[in-house]
Structure 1
């Protein structure tokens, strides 16, 4: 009988082993596959867009919900920070290094998906920075999706990499808010005597 039961307390803690040290091969594989799929899809869509679309001639689809508007963006995701193109590859390299460091203790598959989306989105746009005109570390990112209007009247023009980055960040925030940790543990809050406390259990 545990101490809480002996004392007549009421808690939602479930007994069980804590997270094991080290990293999970499965989680790292999921991260890598997610990133590769994101990069591959992003590059395919960019290639189709540059070959099939003409700048200044948007294509209306889904009744105007989406417009395919080819744009070459010197800024960051969603056209932010134009004029500082050289900075973004350096930021991307820092993000890649951070995710690699995080993978050392990664045991959560949901976190692997989130980090894989962020990594894939970062790599997709990094490829444009390095290999597209006007030159290395100055390359313009290819964007093509404009919502509700052909020229970003309501929302910035974006690409698949931007979408992956955004979804990955939102998923990471949701995982944090729900107490899911990168090492596979889960932090739950229980109410007792009007106060909240944290307990850990394996995810």
Structure 2
């Protein structure tokens, strides 16, 4: 269970520190755009009021609080479920998801939306979407659970 909490804290802290640095210190909330290594990496301010890619993004407080409650509920269930996983890497993966989900939930509490700022494009394809570090942790954690949470296999 310790691995779940350690990685949840790591994911949460890295995400929140990145948002303080980019959104506030670099003042992306006012500047709205900053090219870092174009077109591969750019900072573009995005406020996601919905789920993934702005899905279900009604601008209402009800949606905001439902998404916060959903993140808290799923995180609690995931901790309960993952604590019995035999592989440490699976518990690390669960912790990354929990930390990312709670970081995005905190954004909804503080800002009313999730602060997204990473934008990546390549090879002539212009990506209109933004994401954040918490999203990376959630994706990596989900990937890890898909491949390492099989409880029928021996622990690594």
Q: TM-score, with normalisation over the residues of structure 1? A: 0.65
Shift in Å, 1:29: 1.4
Q: Could you tell me how far apart the structure 2 residues matched to 1:122 and 1:128 are?
A: 10
Does residue 102 of the first structure (1) align with residue 77 of the second (2)? no
Q: Any idea what SS the aligned residue of 2:64 has?
A: coil
- Structure with higher helix content: 2
Q: Any idea what SS the aligned residue of 2:115 has?
A: strand
Does residue 114 of the first structure (1) align with residue 114 of the second (2)? no
Answer yes or no: is the 8 Å Cα contact 2:83–2:91 preserved in 1.
Answer: no
Shift in Å, 1:41: 0.5
Q: Could you tell me how far apart the structure 1 residues matched to 2:148 and 2:128 are?
A: 26
Answer yes or no: is the 8 Å Cα contact 2:86–2:155 preserved in 1.
Answer: no
Does residue 71 of the first structure (1) align with residue 50 of the second (2)? no
Q: Could you tell me how far apart the structure 1 residues matched to 2:30 and 2:54 are?
A: 16
1:38 is aligned to 11
In structure 2, list runs of 5 or more residues that go unmatched: none
Q: Could you tell me how far apart the structure 2 residues matched to 1:55 and 1:80 are?
A: 24
Does residue 130 of the first structure (1) align with residue 109 of the second (2)? yes
Q: Could you tell me how far apart the structure 2 residues matched to 1:202 and 1:117 are?
A: 19
1:87 is aligned to 66
* CA deviation vs aligned residue, 1:117-170 (integer Å, no higher than 9, x gap): 1101111001111222xxxxxx11110001118xx9425210011111111111
Q: TM-score, with normalisation over the residues of structure 2? A: 0.83
Answer yes or no: is the 8 Å Cα contact 2:44–2:118 preserved in 1.
Answer: yes
1:174 is aligned to 147
From the CA coordinates, give the structure whose radius of gyration is larger.
Answer: 1
Say which structure, 1 or 2, has more relative contact order (CA 8 Å, 6+ apart): 2
Q: Any idea what SS the aligned residue of 2:18 has?
A: helix
Answer yes or no: is the 8 Å Cα contact 1:78–1:162 preserved in 2.
Answer: no
Over 3 Å counting, the alpha-carbon distance change for 1:175 and 1:65 in structure 2 is same
Over 3 Å counting, the alpha-carbon distance change for 1:108 and 1:86 in structure 2 is same
Matched residue count:
148
In structure 1, list runs of 5 or more residues that go unmatched: 1-27, 133-138, 187-200
Q: Any idea what SS the aligned residue of 2:85 has?
A: coil
Answer yes or no: is the 8 Å Cα contact 1:79–1:156 preserved in 2.
Answer: no
- Structure with higher strand content: 1
